[in-house]
Amino acid sequence: MFRKPRPHARVRLLCFHHAGGAALAYRSWVDRMPPFIDVCPVQLTGRGNRYGEAPFRSVDMLVDTLLNAIKPLLDLPVALFGHSMGAALAFATAAKLEQQSQQVVHLFASGRRAPLSVYTTALHRLSDPALEAYLRDLGGTPDIVFSDAELKETVFELLRADLALNDGYTANAPLSQIPITALGGCDDRHVPLPALDAWQGLTQARFTRQLFDGAHFFVRDSEIEVIQHVATTLAATVEH
């Protein structure tokens, strides 16, 4: 989805979107990343070209299905980027790939508290008014979603499935050899700095933290800077 041929690619970057989002979130990354990175946006069920498929509510079930789908992409080293809910999916996928002895060179966990029991949430249980208030505060949902009753019902149904998946995930163990970079927004009140830094406990390899201008959706507001950081990190990784 949205991929373009990269005959000189040296690493594949699997990109996981936020709750309620779609692979479209990474469409511009395909053109803006340097040629050595093959950007592979992951389209989850229930949206876009997969609208007719039921959304997953279990990370483990989703990852097992995903691993079968991405087998053709594992001929090159893999890196993973995930924002918000996508960070949990990226971590779970990285953990499974590491167990299978696949070469995973880096995990970028963006805009999410570390998936530890101390930071678990229950957002999927919010009432519609509370969920709307939460989404408005996050700032990533178009106003039309709230003003069109039918659209709101459809979006909230998908979103609750995504949030249930996200709320229910806790990491079982740290990664052994995969470095993690935790990315956060300077003004993101939903991911406090200690919760972002807690990703350090989920890898036995190198950990770094990088902050960008913006709130929860800094990946959109500071997109160029985020892309440059990812590209620079991967360039150094691949060279070594």
DSSP label at residue 115: S
Contact 2, 11 (CB under 8 A): no
Q: Is the dihedral of CA 39, 45, 48, 53 positive or negative?
A: positive
Query: Using alpha carbons only, what angle is made at residue 226 by residues 98 and 139, rounded to the nearest 5 degrees?
Result: 105
The catalytic residue positions are: 84
Instruction: Give the integer Cα–Cα distance in Å for 100 and 187.
Output: 38
| Helix (H) / strand (E) containing 181 | strand 180-185
Instruction: Give the integer Cα–Cα distance in Å for 201 and 197.
Output: 8
The first and second tokens of residue 124, run together, are 């999927």
Instruction: Give the integer Cα–Cα distance in Å for 185 and 213.
Output: 6
Contact 202, 174 (CB under 8 A): yes
**How far is CA 43 from each of CA 27, 194, 223, 224, rounded to the nearest angstrom?**
11, 30, 20, 22
